[in-house]
Homo-oligomer: A and B are copies of this chain.
Amino acid sequence: MTERGTTGPQIHRTVADLRRALAAERTGGRRIALVPTMGALHEGHLSLVRKGFALADAVVVSIFVNPTQFAPHEDFDAYPRTEASDVDKLAAFGVGHVFAPSAREMYPDGFCTAVSLGGPALGLETDFRPHFFSGVAVVVAKLLLAVLPDVAVFGEKDYQQLLVIRQLVRDLNMPVEIVGAPTLRETDGLAMSSRNAYLDPQARRTAATLYATLADTAARLAADPGDLAALDDGCRRLEQAGFRVDYLALRDAATLAPLEAASDRPRRLLVAAWLGQTRLIDNIPA
């Protein structure tokens, strides 16, 4: 089930094939990094791959559009699938192994394990996508345990997801270091995302307001940490630009807990908002 082009990465479709290939990679104490993706790779993903190579000798990229983290009404069917061009991009980076299993390989008949978290999984995305982190927790656990990398790299663009995964790994004693990598942005500030491809030219122009609002709100909060009216103003600005806002929230950067008054712990400003049928998320320190 392992495929290989003349120069590109090996493509593994089963956990068994993947493990066989990685056993050879591990000889001599070589370190392995995993970069989990849903494919539709853009520069943001490639920066995670670059980070993987900085931290390990070999990089495995998984490509799997995980059905269990989409609700029935969400964009699972529409989510872009571009495996051939994804593999070409990874070949150019010297990635040796792609793990691209079928849904059946990941969730065979009889599959019946659920994982759920409190803590950083509470609120924010969970208020709007209640199944999301349970789906993420299971698939990330499976990917981490299939690959058993020394380190796995996740983008800060999905900041709540990054904290949930750190917590999952810590709670279950998974022997993997989780590393977050900074969000890459287009020249107008929009965070790179596979879902940006859904935006028509006009929506794409409007989308820049998301980051601009985050940046301006964070600047106001930097000037006056207690100026929480900045959040209301940010929401209003997004709505006036044509967004439907799920949340624009200021949270403890380490735990995502609502802020206690007079705390000087690092904070994070997080946003999720819709432009038409496209849901965008972003976050920055604040």
On whether the beta carbons of A173 and B116 are closer than 8 Å, the reply is no
In whole Å, how far is A166's beta carbon from the nearest beta carbon of chain B? 11
On whether the beta carbons of B171 and A112 are closer than 8 Å, the reply is yes
Q: Which residues of B contact A5 (CB under 8 A)?
A: none
Q: Which residues of B contact A173 (CB under 8 A)?
A: 15, 141-143, 145-146
- Does any Cβ of B come within 8 Å of A118's Cβ? yes
Alpha-carbon gap, A87 to B175, bound state (A): 27
On whether the beta carbons of A19 and B175 are closer than 8 Å, the reply is yes
- Does any Cβ of B come within 8 Å of A215's Cβ? no
Alpha-carbon gap, A112 to B143, bound state (A): 20
Which residue in chain B gives the minimum CB-CB distance to A143? Answer: B173
In whole Å, how far is A199's beta carbon from the nearest beta carbon of chain B? 35
In whole Å, how far is A140's beta carbon from the nearest beta carbon of chain B? 10
In whole Å, how far is A109's beta carbon from the nearest beta carbon of chain B? 10
On whether the beta carbons of B171 and A113 are closer than 8 Å, the reply is yes
Copies in the complex: 2
Q: Which residues of B contact A138 (CB under 8 A)?
A: 171-172
Q: Which residues of B contact A19 (CB under 8 A)?
A: 175
In whole Å, how far is A163's beta carbon from the nearest beta carbon of chain B? 11
Per-position 1/0 for A126-146, Cβ under 8 A of B: 000000000001100111011
Which residue in chain B gives the minimum CB-CB distance to A171? Answer: B113
Which residue in chain B gives the minimum CB-CB distance to A147? Answer: B173
Per-position 1/0 for A1-29, Cβ under 8 A of B: 00000000000000100010000000000
CB contact between A112 and one of B111, B112, B114, B117 (< 8 Å): that residue: B117
CB contact between A117 and one of B113, B117, B121, B172 (< 8 Å): that residue: B113
In whole Å, how far is A142's beta carbon from the nearest beta carbon of chain B? 5
Known: A113-B115, A113-B117, A114-B117. A142 touches B175 (CB 8 A): no
Alpha-carbon gap, A124 to B113, bound state (A): 18
Which residue in chain B gives the minimum CB-CB distance to A108? Answer: B170
On whether the beta carbons of A114 and B113 are closer than 8 Å, the reply is no
On whether the beta carbons of A110 and B119 are closer than 8 Å, the reply is yes
- Does any Cβ of B come within 8 Å of A71's Cβ? no
Which residue in chain B gives the minimum CB-CB distance to A148? Answer: B175
In whole Å, how far is A164's beta carbon from the nearest beta carbon of chain B? 10
- Does any Cβ of B come within 8 Å of A160's Cβ? no
In whole Å, how far is A100's beta carbon from the nearest beta carbon of chain B? 15
Alpha-carbon gap, A117 to B111, bound state (A): 9
The 3 closest A-B pairs by CB, nearest first: A113-B171, A112-B118, A112-B119
Q: Can you spell out 16 A-B residue pairs with CB atoms less than 8 angstroms apart?
A: A110-B119, A110-B167, A111-B171, A112-B118, A112-B167, A113-B137, A113-B171, A114-B116, A114-B117, A138-B171, A138-B172, A141-B173, A142-B173, A143-B173, A146-B173, A148-B175
